[in-house]
Structure 1
Amino acid sequence: MALGQQVWAAGEPWYASGTFWTIAAVVVAVIAIVVGAWAAFRSARPRRALYITVDQAVSLLRAAPGLDGSGVAVSLHGRELTRPYVVTVDVVSNSALDIAPSAFGGSPLELEFGVPVLALLDQESDAGRPAVREPKVEVASTALHVSPALLTRRHRLRYSVLVDGKPDFRPVGDLVDVAVHVGPVPARTPLALRLVTSALLAPAVVLSAVGVVDIATGTPPDQGRFNLQVVLISVAAVLVVITKLVSARSR
């Protein structure tokens, strides 16, 4: 029976049709091809990303109940501060490759607080491997400037500063091929889940190719292959949904 003439048997439910599941498998195969092409594109342009977030911003005049309006004052080098805050910022690299100093374009990454930065109180650098220099930082008016430096794939920087005024934080930087996000690093989809999903999609692609030939030639779909297609597509669909839910919850 020709492709255009093949129809489901009268009274046959759609979900029991081998033709339907073969077509569904073709759709899955197309999706797998698109995903594979996108993965190839991403591998050609490895993802580099920085996640920057304010871990805490503590007012020194309101750190304990009853201090507000009690006459308690905070001063620095003889200068009384009106609204002192201690702000801690995390800068985390979550990248496929290291971020080279050249990615900074010769300009520093600016951690802009919107109010005067009075002092750098503490700084930490965890490159995840030895012999990596800590990036140089300097206070510049209302910002902290992080100089161009090598940032490893999982580099973690942490800075605590004293500011005078309620901070309005935002990062400023034109890093080349590096996405800068404000917020914590999203949790990764478990590797095992991705591998199992790929393992299910691979045979589905092969079965889909065979199914296309069957439909084109009018050959009745094989019942065993039909049952296998149902299982593969169903389980793969469930895993894709789980993957999306895991990714959504991590944001």
Structure 2
Amino acid sequence: MLAIFRKSLARPPQELNSPTSHGKPPRSAKQPDEILANFHASHAATSFAATFRGGAALASAGNDPTRRRVFCALDDIYCVFVGSLNNLSSLVRQYGLCGKTTDEALLVLEAYRTLRDRAPYPADQVLKDLLGSFAFVVYDNRTGTVFSALSSDGGVPMHWGIAADGSVVMSDELEVVKGGCGKSFAPFPVGCMFHSEKGLRSFEHPMNKMKAMPRVDSEGMMCGASFKVDTFSRINSMPRVGSANNWTCWEDAH
């Protein structure tokens, strides 16, 4: 799985840039087109991609023995999903999809549309309802919105980083991100969600802020920071009352 979004579409945390870059892309970082081409080259027989005029690209490759990948599109919304949901059948009933052929990616698209169109629903609660090991990226081409999440069990890896032109890159394959982003990359934090306008937030602990942790590689070089929940720092927001809080009311913690 690979997702690339121009910086005008997604605003990742500044700490994702390597401290040694001084605000400039490292020399080893690549342009989005080259990252996408390298992904296709490494999955020559099974990869495919959807690219968009606004500077977004989603790509997927065939399943391997340990990792299931699904790509889906509906009403100009696109999702690439890696992993599986243990409670897919119950979620199908919950979202009124009985009688339809539904996989995990389509279920996530329906959940996203519920958040977008039929709120109020707290986004963190919707994601808590997804039981399993998964990573996904959703791109809403009509609104230019990016929404991604990683399950809390750590069963599926996801990394993200900054390409040479400042675009954000996400993939379940470490070498794709590391090769495309130089030192400006990090693991995507487990149990967290990212929204292109609202930023990074834990869906396990939605009232706690995220903090950046300095990170070095095996050669002692500074890399983009990793992120974890700050258990001592809470977000200043009005308390929730029933379902009166929906995902459009997230505060940008950055």
Q: Bin the TM-score by the shorter chain.
A: under 0.3
Decide which structure has greater strand share: 2
| Bigger Rg over Cα | 1
Provide the TM-score with structure 2 as the length reference.
0.21
Provide the TM-score with structure 1 as the length reference.
0.21
